[in-house]
Structure 1
């Protein structure tokens, strides 16, 4: 979620920890979906200990499932171009989801 608030999201976190509109956000021209992944990192959580991924295949399947659910709930985005990106350790997860 670092990129959402620090790099290209619609808002900037200021030095006094408030939000302000970003001058030139990517979201002006693009639809962006930020997913905190895998469960248990960042702000995501589960109450079921079996809900945590234990390997990259689990991570890919969970993310794929989340994307399927997203497009079922918001079918208006189904026909848009779709790019999977990430940073840091997502260099492991992005190829895993792309492989599915």
Structure 2
């Protein structure tokens, strides 16, 4: 409840993402396979945003959470990417993450 009073616009935005049916943005978790061509690359080298129109919000690596990862963060097999994008774009990235 304190978050609502401190950051009402942020809370409203997240609530809209969750509840609105006509907004075409999704939050998704994608696991990086060792077969993925983006494994071993820095985030900027992967060009996820440019190629797929998807934002990488965080990387979960084991017990570590890397929030708002730097462009030089290296992507590793087993990383769980927390991403935001359209369903279509996320599906395309999911295939690359899986190494398909």
Bigger proportion of residues as strand: 2
Q: TM-score under structure 1 normalisation?
A: 0.28
Q: Which has the higher contact order (CA 8 A, sep 6+)?
A: 2
Q: TM-score under structure 2 normalisation?
A: 0.28
